[in-house]
Chain A
Amino acid sequence: MHELSITESILEIALRHAAEAEAEKITDIHLVIGKLSSIVDDSVQFYWDIVSDGTAAQGAVLHFRRVRIEIVCQACGESYHPEELDLSCPGCGSRDVRIVAGEEFRLEAIEVE
């Protein structure tokens, strides 16, 4: 459900940057979303079609760049990308680990004409 407010924020940011660039139309929007942020692409797309209607961003294509989870083990230094819910180190089994990627949630670029 919070995809609605998120989609509205995406639109607001995109329109603001397009206006600053004096662009007439936004054709593409590039989003970076880490696997750990709980965003469902399909719902954003669904709300996008509704909220962008009648704006300079109407019909713009949303591109989702999904970033894998990356973890660095503090015990043995190994860096890995867990696919399962078990986040502990596959090398040495340590649970003293740091999440270094996968929490991204930002707008990377827009394409305008």
Chain B
Amino acid sequence: MKERIPIVEKILSANDHIAAQNKSALDSAGVLGLNFMASPGAGKTSLIEHTIKKLKDRLKLAVVDGDVATSIDADRAAAAGAQSVQINTGGECHLDAIMLQGALSELHLEEIDLLIVENVGNLICPASFKLGTHKSVLIASVPEGDDKPYKYPGMYRGVEALVINKIDLLPYVEFDMEYFRQGVEILNPGLVTFPLSCRTDEGLDAYLAWVETEMEAHRRVVQ
């Protein structure tokens, strides 16, 4: 005899559960966690390097780098002056909460203020998997084109800040900033946005000020 069992469960509830554990581990050590997501080559590692160089005198930083196979990005973060841990996803196109949990166990969280997670370069999958970080930052870049919010709505919906990198290339690339921002506004009204260039440093200060403000706000909350 057939029986129908109603279920109300999010498909990724197991991942969400571990993500919540990660978040409380970060909270109890007073660490602010940022999840950097972007398509391949948008400038995640470049922005992480700038963040480390500019903030390392004031904040203790650690970087967790998700990469399908290499440790190039983790090495770049270490060279810039942060503790870094590499997660090789073994072909997976995104980080999930369990992978981050493993990486956190290799860090001395008590000695860290700011943790940046570089997710795997991909605009689809990482959006579905919560990690337990406090804020998700999407790094768009000018050469990718201005239609990305329309094509990857899930990614643009789920972030708390948006960086538009490589604005130094605006004169050379067809990129309609108004059209791009319209798409963002519908998906994520009022999203804080930082147009900047990791090449010329233009616009970086506003982004860095945001990171420091978030750090301050987080400290007040967890204390």
Contacts and interface: CB of A to CB of B under 8 A. Distances in A.
B148 to A, nearest CB: 11
Given A2-B92, A95-B186, A108 B7 contact: yes
Interface stretch (B9-17, B39-47, B165-173, B212-220): B9-17
A10 interface: yes
Given A12-B14, A17-B7, A2 B2 contact: no
Interface in B105-162: 124-125, 127-129, 147, 150-154, 157
Contacts of A86: 150
Interface residues of B, number: 38
A113 interface: yes
A110 B128 CA distance: 23
B125 A17 contact: no
Contacts of A13: 7, 9, 11, 13-14
B8 interface: yes
Contacts of A87: 183, 186-187
A27 interface: yes
A112 B5 contact: yes
Nearest to B189: A96
Contact of A107 (B3, B9, B127, B187): B9
Contacts, number: 101
Contacts of A50: none
Given A95-B182, A103-B157, A6 B128 contact: yes
A6 B1 contact: no
A109 B128 contact: no
Contacts of A36: 153-154, 157
Interface of A: 1-2, 5-6, 9-10, 12-13, 17-18, 21, 23, 27, 31, 36-38, 85-88, 95-97, 99, 103, 105-113
10 contacts: A2-B125, A6-B12, A12-B14, A13-B14, A17-B9, A31-B11, A37-B154, A86-B150, A111-B2, A111-B5
Given A27-B2, A113-B1, 5 more contacts: A17-B9, A21-B3, A85-B151, A105-B10, A105-B11
